[in-house]
Amino acid sequence: MSDPTSIVTPTAEPTTAINLEDASGTNASFARQQIQTVYEPEINIFVAAQRGDLDTLRMLIESGKAKATDRDDQNITPLHWAAINAQLPACRYLLDQGAEVDALGGDLVATPMQWAARNGYLYVIQLLIAHNADPTITDAQGYNTLHLVTHSSSVMSLLYLLHQPISIDSRDAQGHTALMWAAYQGDALSVDLLLKHGADPNTRDESDLTPLHWAVVKGNRNCIRKLVEKGSDINAKTREGKTPRDMAVELKSLGAWKRALEEGGMLEDGTKKLKPLSERNTKLAIFILPTIFFYLIFTTLRVMPWYTGILLAMAEFFAMHHIVTRVLLNSASYSDGVIQSPYYAGIIFGSLVWVAYCWTTRLVHQTSHHAFAHLMFALAYGLCVYNFIRSITLDPGTCPKPANDGELRAIVEELASEGRLNGQTFCIQCMARKALRSKHCRICDKCVARHDHHCPWVWNCVGVNNHRQFILFVSTLVVGVILFDYLTYAYYSTVNIASEPSSTCLLPDDLCTITAYDPFLFSVACWSTLQLLWTFILLASQLYQVMRQMTTFEVSNLGRYGFMGGRGGQSLASQMGHRHQHAPMGASEDGPAPAHAHQHTGCGGTLLQLTGLDIFTRGRAADGLARARKASNPFDLGIIGNCKDFWTAGRELGVEYDRLYDVPLEGFREARKRREREEEDEGRGRKPKSHFMGFSLSFGRGSRSGYEPVSQV
């Protein structure tokens, strides 16, 4: 029986002498390979351990035919074979029977934990460390467990190991650190995780290459950007005098280099980009600018003939966008950084300003006989502005983070011991436990409780704390636009228009006359009516989701994965008996990486993104609305109950969404009834049972079934 770890030869590490013509991410000789295990004809303890055959293991050991410390012809123990095949029960049994946890064996003289680490088997690593396995031991190639876990690109295994007693900047035989390996592999998640845990971005190997040099070899712009943002020296030189940029030129990865520095707010030479205004004043200018340009646009349409006014108005709109993106934000394109800025919120604000201007200067005086309509419009407008501001300024529901490293380590240990340390229960970006129904927003860079979507129109995420204000904002916006159009129609119906329509007007005579009489008001009315279509669709979808106790994010997950919570994360059960089938480089442990595809988003796609409706058009996400009625939903209380829970921010269910980590085993209804009974007992002087998050601990740990795939819970 041969040693499967011997497929990783000493040439697997990044060589210090780089062939710049051949270096690429796909040529990494340490890339994970399919391990073909050779089964011996007779059943012995090594084959039984490899297969996870507990009955045979017990029979062999209890009969005295074999021992847990036996070794085969290559000095390999049964624990090695159980570890590399992720046979967790077999590992546990062998350890109970006295197997040596740090036994060295095989061609690479490695420990069982190092065999498991090559494949990123988190729960085997956790079991071995619980039995005092030493992660600092190095094999014949000079790799310790941290290096080997980094090779596997298993980010959760790396997270667990970083909270063990091992130096994050430990070096292999050629001076390479785990950060260098992660950068060389183009593994941005591992690079980010290592940097967050204090890895030195300026360490050098035996050839004076830094992690930034190795990131350039792969050409991954995310790795380059993260290293530069953490202070990696972009002018560091190798023994041959080459900077990372010099290597990028020779390796044809200069495009990734430029893009990474641009995203990091730097020029190609590493100098910081200068903006004309401070950060605060830039945001303020972007927010106010649409109001000014809307005045110019509406005035242009008022004073110019329609055939030149429309073209000039479009040019002015483009000028506004150009000033925001290329001047104030100093971006290289017309899309970078716009979503993160208050630009679209400024468009809403500017629209509200000029609607109010037209109403007070024209409609109030000319249509005074529509008193009730004016009263309703004033009420809708006031509520719209108030809830618009509240949607922007309220915290959407940021999930709590660990207060210190000790608390973080306790969370990691707890999830790992429960067999569910994965991307669904833990957020690598926030370094915190992830609540049910939450999502990490890459724009806001935080996990938001009961996350619905990120809305650029309110310059904020929509979550549990501001979802009600967002619904009221959209509702009153729709009502306000309808009333404004009604009053505008009444205005044009009552004014005495004596002028003849223009001969160049292509509209019917009545419309030509109206537009000629007050083109400013007509332009504002057309602009506001243009917003009515998408806001009405958005409002309808939002109200439907509220009645179904779902969010936009969950409906999208339902269509794509069949479950509100998504595809589920890697669990203990999914690793046991694993047969060395690895995901492609860059895939996360939550699921397979998507196939590479060039996606060209046109004008329609941009509009869908801005309106928040694009989440229903990606892949099979649109199926989510069709499945919503029959889908498994542990939060569903019926239409009335769902609406009550929405407007009370979880009180109907009796939960705090930013700290909700499991569905109670008996369900939310029964958990609430039980809690009410216990509160009554407490009022009568009886001693209540201990609680956590409103659920009795005597019922055992909750689950996530019904929200995520059962096989991965």
Q: Which residues are the active-site residues? A: 455
For residue 441, the surrounding DSSP H or E stretch is strand 439-441
Sign of CA dihedral 66, 70, 75, 80: positive
Q: CA-to-CA distance for 315 and 323, rounded, in angstroms?
A: 12
CA angle 380, 382, 387 (to 5 degrees): 95
Find, among 271, 224, 272, 269, the residue nearest to 251 by Cα.
224
Find, among 93, 49, 39, 45, the residue nearest to 66 by Cα.
45
Q: Which runs of consecutive H residues, i.e. helices, occur in 598-699?
A: 603-611, 623-627, 638-647, 668-683
**Which neighbouring-strand residues pair with 673?**
none
At position 224, the amino acid (one-letter code) is I
Contact assessment for residue 256 and residue 248, using Cβ atoms and an 8 Å cutoff: yes
575-578 CB contacts, 8 Å cutoff, 24+ apart: 575/86, 575/88, 575/121, 575/122, 575/123, 575/124, 576/52, 576/86, 576/87, 576/88, 576/89, 576/123, 577/52, 577/85, 577/86, 577/87, 578/85, 578/86, 578/119, 578/121
Q: CA-to-CA distance for 169 and 173, rounded, in angstroms?
A: 13
Tokens of 579: 């047969």
Kind of pairing, strands 426-427 and 432-433?
Answer: antiparallel
Q: CA-to-CA distance for 454 and 443, rounded, in angstroms?
A: 8
**What angle, rounded to 10 degrees, do the helices at 343-358 and 519-547 form?**
120
Give the list of residues 6+ apart from residue 225 with CB closer than 8 angstroms, or none: 260, 261, 263, 264
Place of tokens 């049910």: 436
Place of tokens 């004033």: 378
Q: How far is CA 659 from the centre of its chain?
A: 18
Could you tell me the CA-to-CA distances from 3 to 32, 44, 50, 152 in Å, in that order? 15, 16, 12, 18
Contact assessment for residue 595 and residue 619, using Cβ atoms and an 8 Å cutoff: no
Q: CA-to-CA distance for 559 and 649, rounded, in angstroms?
A: 25
For residue 691, the surrounding DSSP H or E stretch is strand 691-692
Tokens of 211: 């992690």
Give the list of residues 6+ apart from residue 367 with CB closer than 8 angstroms, or none: 373, 374, 487, 490, 491, 494
Give the list of residues 6+ apart from residue 547 with CB closer than 8 angstroms, or none: 639, 642, 643
Q: CA-to-CA distance for 59 and 396, rounded, in angstroms?
A: 58
Tokens of 108: 């690479």
Q: CA-to-CA distance for 123 and 129, rounded, in angstroms?
A: 10
Q: CA-to-CA distance for 600 and 596, rounded, in angstroms?
A: 13
End-to-end CA distance of the chain: 35
Tokens of 291: 């109001």
**Which neighbouring-strand residues pair with 543?**
none
Contact assessment for residue 364 and residue 493, using Cβ atoms and an 8 Å cutoff: no
Tokens of 75: 């000095």
Q: CA-to-CA distance for 326 and 413, rounded, in angstroms?
A: 47
